Each structure stands twice: as structure tokens, then as C-alpha cells.
Amino acid sequence: MEKLNELRFELLSHLLYSPDLTPSDLRLFADLKRMLKGKRIGSKKEVVADVEAYIESKNKSFYEMGIKN
């Protein structure tokens, strides 16, 4: 835990237990997690750029399916 604080990582609660998320959110995050798997990210700017690129890469039907399910 000390090392995480030293590196200034922000700890987030487990997704499944977050009252702010719905099941449709989990589909989006699971797919995003697969896209980022194994990638080394050096800064917050890189994370933001990667997530924005991911969101823009998905077509309308991807989001429609997430809302319907």
C-alpha cells in the first residue's frame, strides 16, 4: 500500500460493488479492460487518450447493445 501511495495511484473500489454502475456499464468496462490488457501506460494523459480513442472507435450499435442488455 505504501508503494501505491508513493507512486500516487488512486485506489478505486471494486466495480461490482459500486452503486454508481449498472450492468450495462460492466460490458463497456470489460471490453475496455481487454483493449488495455498488457499495455504499459506512463501517464494520466496516456490513459485519457487511450480511453477517448477506445470510445471513439466503437460504433453506435456497440453502445445500443450495452443499453439494451
DSSP per position, 4-21: HHHTTPPP---GGG-TT-
Provide CB contacts within 8 A for 67, sequence distance 6+: 24
Confidence class of residue 45 from pLDDT cuts 50, 70 and 90? very high
On the question of pLDDT at 11 being above 70, the answer is: yes
Q: List, for residues 17-42, the tens digit of each pLDDT value.
A: 666 666 666 667 788 888 888 888 88
CA 67 to chain centroid, in Å, comes to 17
The mean pLDDT of the chain is: 78
For residue 59, the model assigns a pLDDT of 83
pTM: 0.52
For residue 36, the model assigns a pLDDT of 84
